[in-house]
Amino acid sequence: MLVAAVAIVLAAVVAKVIDGRMARLNLDPAATTRYRVLRRSIFAAIVFVGVLSALLVIPQVRAVATGILASGAVIAVVLGFAAQRTIGNFIAGILIAFSQPIRLGDEVDAEGGRGIVEEIGVTYTWVRLPDNDRLVIPNERLVSQTLRNSTIRSAQRLAEVSVQVPLSADLRSLVEALASDANEAYVAELGTDATIIVRRWVELGRSIEEEESELRLVVHDRLRELGIVQT
């Protein structure tokens, strides 16, 4: 029992040292995501091997293990576990790490929530929502369902607002003024009123909701300045 305990402690220490060394690497988001999942997989594998080695030190357990291996029952056990959702989540975590539909720090829409990917674990992914709650998603669902990643190709996201103005207004002057305050402004539709779309690119880390609120204030100021709305 003493030898078994030492083997388990030694495995835990080795796993912790390796995990700590890998955690010190300063990598880009794509590599960081791969290393994060790889670290946890290596940690779990080392602990598993350590515990298994410790148990095999005990004669009674070793005799049982030998019998299982000889009978081939261990293969059935492994296949049985592989069919379970937990193993499916683990495999999905490996797929996420290398195919990378999401990365650490990405802003995503998933499972009805929009937030920042905070942690990609071996079996679950944590998304930080705007109200600071956490959306915990099984990895298997992330690889089997459609999700929206706003920052997978660029660190910038698009804030967009629309405004209705009377057709009697000087639309050209208004669009030009709004375009100088944002990245883009254009007339989207002419009906009973004119619909103007105003867009601005937002850097990662800034809130889309706050930027859209700021755009609405900018539009309102321009409408007042041009006399389209009265003070």
Task: Specify the pLDDT at position 120.
Answer: 84
**What's the rounded Cα separation, in Å, for the pair 24 and 19?**
9
Co-location of 48 and 7 in the same domain:
yes
Q: Is residue 231 part of a domain?
A: no
Confidence of residue 36 (pLDDT cuts 50, 70, 90): low
Complete edge-to-edge strand list for the sheet that includes strand 148-149: 134-138, 124-128, 113-120, 107-110, 148-149
For the chain, the average pLDDT equals: 76
| 14-29: pLDDT as tens digits | 767 766 665 666 666 5
Average pLDDT over residues 171-175: 88
Q: Which of 24, 13, 20, 11 is nearest to 40 (CA)?
A: 20
Task: Tell me if 75 is assigned to some domain.
Answer: yes
The yes-or-no verdict on residue 63 having pLDDT over 60 is: yes
Q: Clarify whether residues 115 and 53 are in a common domain.
A: no
The answer to whether residues 145 and 173 belong to one domain is no
Share of the chain above pLDDT 70, in %: 66
- For residue 74, name the pLDDT band (cuts at 50, 70, 90): low
The boundaries of the domain holding residue 126 are 102-149
pLDDT tens-digit profile of 125-136? 888 887 888 888
Residue 213: per-residue pLDDT: 87
